[in-house]
Amino acid sequence: MPKFAKIQVPLAGILRRGVAGETLATTAPEAESLRTWGAAALRQYKTALLILLMISAVAPCAWSQASTTASRPDETAPTSSANQPGLAPIHKYIAEGWDTLTRSLDECKSIVDTKVTTTSVLYLPADFEVPRAVQNLQAQCNVQAKHLPSVIHNLGEVDESKIDPAGLLYLPHKYVVPGGRFNEMYGWDSYFIIRGLVRDKRIELAQGMVENFFFEIEHYGAILNANRTYYLTRSQPPFLTSMILDVYDAKKEAGQEDRAWLETAYGYAVRDHNLWTREPHLAGNTGLSRYFDFGTGPAPESLKDETGHLAQVAAYFLSHPDVGREYLIQKKSGDNAQDNVGPLFAMQVCESTVSTMGKSECASAGGVSLSADYYKGDRSMRESGYDISFRFGPYGVATHHYAPVCLNSLLYKAEEDLARMADMLGKKKESAEWHERAKKRKDAINKYLWNAKAGMFFDWDFTKNEQSTYEYVTTFLPLWTGLATKEQATAVVKNVGVFERPGGLMMSPKESGGQWDAPYAWAPNQLMADDGIRKYGFTEVADRVSYAFLSNVLENFRRDGTIREKYNAVTRSSETAVTAGYKVNIVGFGWTNGVFLVLSHELPEGVVEKLGKE
């Protein structure tokens, strides 16, 4: 028998706008059943009509799998010395964690992927000889190795859905993974991991990770979301130039300056930048860029760990028709189910008594499916790294319609970094051209993304030609990248209270149920905000918000001996109540480890001593 989920929402929510509902019960052992009752709209009636949504069995079986646990036995384990005073225990945990989280092709655990239901395969570029290390891996771990179906020159050239089963993409050097379900090398995670590696003098490992990104550009068409086949359709926020310069500067400081390496790196950095400055990554005629995933349909990595998420989204859109009409497609009896890009939601109208919600006969009311544009937005949100937030509309549905503050601030920095690299390499003309491109982007950011009245930077919806009003912590990125004026930086810092809570900076003041909204604080944005604030001379504020986050991480480390991917900035806890997307708070954790080292190093000595006594 097929497994399916049932979701009931009030008919009034479909016919009228703004009808609030109340969750009554959940049932069914095989799937979730969410019954919502529009009492205010239907009070005068003894019976009510409810819309019943059922996820059809046409969906792949992976859509009904249970979530994975927060970490696997081979990941960073809690340390017994965590509650000892000082910072030595957490520094020891981080130092040992680099080794625990390091993956290479001489270890069987590197291939494991808990996000999908199939046994993972190792894939090599189509024109690549099988290395000896892969031959050994095949023999020792019983791993199947295959070549990709064709040579890849640019992102999106390969239909990832036809690579079956999904698998790990070969990389030549060791790399550090975030932890838990994230058992591969990620794009923007790696920047914050590399910051920590450089701080811990693990420069060779950091350099190897950067060179892995060169390999991805050369053989997989771009820096990928991560090195799995189902990520061959999208990248992640562009940090490559930042990683290159961090490694280059660290090697130079150690007396190992390598201009030849920088020359090679520069060529790959230019190719990475080109991805974001041509279609389809252009944000209309704004001169800015956007996130865009080349794939279609549900994101494969979400189907196991985010069970029920698509049903939740469909229910939301049905009860919010002002938004949902753009992302739901009405289906009639007899329509070909193969035309759907995702699961089909079959609707029924059922009569139930108000008092008992008893069972009754139901009549078919057709069905709905989520539109291709919904899936494009969802996938593009995942390229942004901020999955899931309501910043780009409910569940990030309109991500690809926006010119974001984060992406364009990072591209401004990349252009200035490329100017610096070109200058160091004696390419004076190219350096001047990069400075000019950075200036044009800065002008466009000020035109579309700056709001002087609010004193913050906001994303721009180029399809509606209007600025968002969604307050988000990415408003600090123009400070981190140095594009903000002193006046803009002063205004932004005055608004720090919008995000500042006892345990750090929340992503936004909105509680959406998504992990990238309130009340959560995340290491990468904490670092960029803190360093941006410090760059413009607001040292006291930077120390304060850094201390709040670091002490939150340390307090929870002393409680359970682990470091997590995110923290509750309000309760100063690692406990989470995420309702949109995957629910666990993963142990490890790569970028939190790196950010803890960097931010604690930037604090004054007396503040660090105070932190150690917390």
Quote the tokens at residue 63. 């859509």
Q: Is 565 a catalytic residue?
A: yes
Rounded distance between C-alpha atoms, residue 398 and residue 377, angstroms: 5
Alpha-carbon torsion (517, 522, 524, 526), positive or negative: positive
Catalytic residue chosen out of the listed positions 189, 471, 543, 565 = 565
Catalytic-labelled residue, pool 387, 415, 471, 500: 387
CB contact at 8 A, 377 and 295:
no
Give the whole-angstrom CA distance, residue 435 versus residue 437: 5
- How far apart, in whole angstroms, are the C-alpha atoms of residue 443 and residue 258? 34
Active site residue 22: no
Task: Kindly list the distances between the CA atom of residue 317 and the CA atoms of 13, 41, 193, 377, 390, in Å, as whole numbers in the listed order.
Answer: 10, 18, 38, 14, 13
Q: Which parts of 481-538 fold into alpha helices (H)?
A: 486-494, 523-535
Q: How far apart are the first and last CA of the chain?
A: 55
1 burial via Cβ count (<10 Å: 0-12, 13-18, 19+): exposed
Torsion of CA 171, 176, 180, 181, to 10 degrees: -30
Cα–Cα dist 519/572, whole Å: 10
Phi and psi at residue 168, in whole multiples of 5°?
-80, 140
What are the helix (H) ranges across 221-350?
A: 240-253, 259-276, 302-305, 309-319, 321-324
Strands 460-461 and 456-457: unpaired
Asked if residue 38 lies in contact with residue 19, where contact means CB atoms within 8 angstroms, the answer is yes
Q: Cα(571)–Cα(556) distance, rounded to whole angstroms?
A: 11
Query: Mutual orientation of helices 240-253 and 259-276 as an angle, nearest 10°?
Result: 170
SS3 state at 341: coil
User: Can you read off the two tokens belonging to residue 529?
Assistant: 């905000």
Helix axes 203-220, 240-253, angle to 10 degrees: 150
Q: Please count the residues of the chain.
A: 614
Q: Give the 3-state secondary structure of 181-249.
A: CECCCEHHHHHHHHHHHHHCCCHHHHHHHHHHHHHHHHHHCCCCCECEHHHCCCCCCCCHHHHHHHHHH
Residues belonging to the active site = 387, 565
